[in-house]
Amino acid sequence: MMENKKVVILSIDFGNDYSGYSYAFITGRGDNVDIYTHDTWSGPCHPNLSSTLLTTAVTNTVSLDKNGRLVKFGYDAREDHDNAIFSKYKMVLFNTESREKTMVQADNCDQTASVETLFTETLKFFKQSSLESLDLEYKSNYSCNRVKIERADQVIWVITVPDTSDDDVSIVRAIHQIAINAGLCTIDTIKESLFITTASKAGSLECIFEKTYAYQLAPDQSFLVFNIGVDTADFTAYRQLEDERMEPIISRFGGTFGSNNCNQYFKRFMLDLLGGDEMTQEIIDGTDFITLLETFDNIIKKSMSDVNAKSRNIPFNPKVFDKNIDWILQRIKQYNSRTGSKIQYKRTGHLSIPLDTILSFFQPIFQTIVNTVKEHMEKYEAIKNPTYIFMIGSFCENHLLQEFVRKEFASTGATIAIPYRPLMCASMGACRLAITKNNH
């Protein structure tokens, strides 16, 4: 075990669209420690809503001033049009050979920044945010934290990477340099201060602990991990070994069929509903519609457990788009007449969309997910009958997807294990992996 001044382990699950962190205090009680998550972030503020939505993860968006310094992060950065706004930059680091020279262009102007700068500023934000949060917890009368944490060198930092990256020397080297630049550690302390793991390995470990009551997998049992987020779906397969170790059975597979595909179907629906003309296209391409998509993501995609409901309601204020209620009522009337649908506009300022229409946004991507896994099951005997299928990632919070997977893979005999918080599972598991490493 390391003899050092580390008092907390803090893991950052760095996603392409959303990120979050978990932490655990180093107690000397072995691996049996409590893991906490920071799961309340200020989300998008829709004009129809009386308050800002709260989300369990924060959007990976940064705004930089003209000198390349961080101004804002998260949803605040999305609205910071006075500065350069950058998003979806994570995979640039993991997909490009000359990573340190790769430049990313801002979403709203011609300003560019290196992917190394964007990663560094992101980690600086999480360092500052997490240390401030831990300090507030220390000062709280209800806190279990009785250790004052003031400096980054009191922390063992854990960073998740895509499933093909943890053994890529160039990526590990790049992450090490970024962590040093962000002030998480120094070149002399990096071995004791930084731990890198894959999201699927971390998420599966947390699922095992949560769903099998500590760790009850037997040697030679196998399991699949469905890690499905906004942009991508990654599938990995593992075999359980002795001493709570696991090994990959086959190479990772997957593709770009995350929940963002549902957004594209929703956008097509809204374009058709609102008329499909040039003016409507301007509405769909505008920044206010991005907020509407956020509302769709939070209200519809993550709140589908009431399968008996005949419709779903989405806040929609035509005045935001310089239109009036008569305009939206006329468009709905024309759409219903043309398609036989039963879209309604409520006095509460909501679009009421029938469940069968909502399902049409999801079914294509659900089928792609299932077909991809079944094709690999047919190809590889070792994964045909897994003991478990673990579902992690933001899209796995969707109740309809959970039920679809249960139905389609019932014949395999696998237990479909869904953690309490699929989105936070990777950060919690990454924390747990680091606890184990620190104790041995």
pLDDT at 372 over 90: yes
Closest CA to 392 of 208, 217, 157, 250: 208
Which residues, in sequence order, are bridge partners of residue 159?
12, 196
Residue 148 or 13, more confident: 13
Are 140 and 20 spatial neighbours (Cβ–Cβ below 8 Å)? Answer: no
Q: What is the pLDDT of residue 384?
A: 94
As given in the structure block, the two tokens for residue 361 are 């946004």
Q: What is the pLDDT of residue 399?
A: 86
DSSP state of 212: T
| Phi, psi values for residue 378, rounded to 5° | -70, -35
Q: What is the pLDDT of residue 16?
A: 82
As given in the structure block, the two tokens for residue 251 are 């190479």
Please state, in angstroms and rounded to a whole number, the distance separating the CA atoms of residues 241 and 11.
25
pLDDT at 18 over 50: yes
As given in the structure block, the two tokens for residue 323 are 């239109």
Sign of the alpha-carbon dihedral angle for 317, 321, 325, 331: negative
Q: Collapsing DSSP states into helix, strand and coil, what is residue 126?
A: helix
- Mean pLDDT of the chain, nearest integer: 84
- CA-based diameter of the chain, in Å? 73
Distances (CA, A) of 241 to 152, 218, 356: 35, 8, 45
Best mean pLDDT range from 268-277, 353-362, 368-377, 392-401:
368-377
User: What residue has token string 């971390």?
Assistant: 202
As given in the structure block, the two tokens for residue 266 are 């929703």
Type of residue at 325: I
Q: Which pLDDT band holds residue 50 (cuts at 50, 70, 90)?
A: very low
Residues 6+ apart with CB under 8 A from 136: none
Burial class (CB in 10 A: 0-12, 13-18, 19+), 292: buried
| Phi, psi values for residue 149, rounded to 5° | -115, 115
End-to-end CA, the chain: 5
**What's the pLDDT tens digit per position in 318-336?**
888 888 999 999 999 999 9
Q: Which pLDDT band holds residue 103 (cuts at 50, 70, 90)?
A: confident
Distances (CA, A) of 245 to 201, 266, 325: 11, 42, 60
Are 64 and 111 spatial neighbours (Cβ–Cβ below 8 Å)? Answer: yes
- Region of 37 (left: φ > 0; alpha: ψ -120 to 50; beta: rest) is beta
Please state, in angstroms and rounded to a whole number, the distance separating the CA atoms of residues 199 and 57.
15
Closest CA to 21 of 434, 358, 414: 434
Average pLDDT over residues 48-67: 74
| Phi, psi values for residue 13, rounded to 5° | -90, 105
Are 168 and 132 spatial neighbours (Cβ–Cβ below 8 Å)? Answer: no
Please say whether the structural domain 8-199+426-439 has been given the CATH code 3.30.420.40: yes
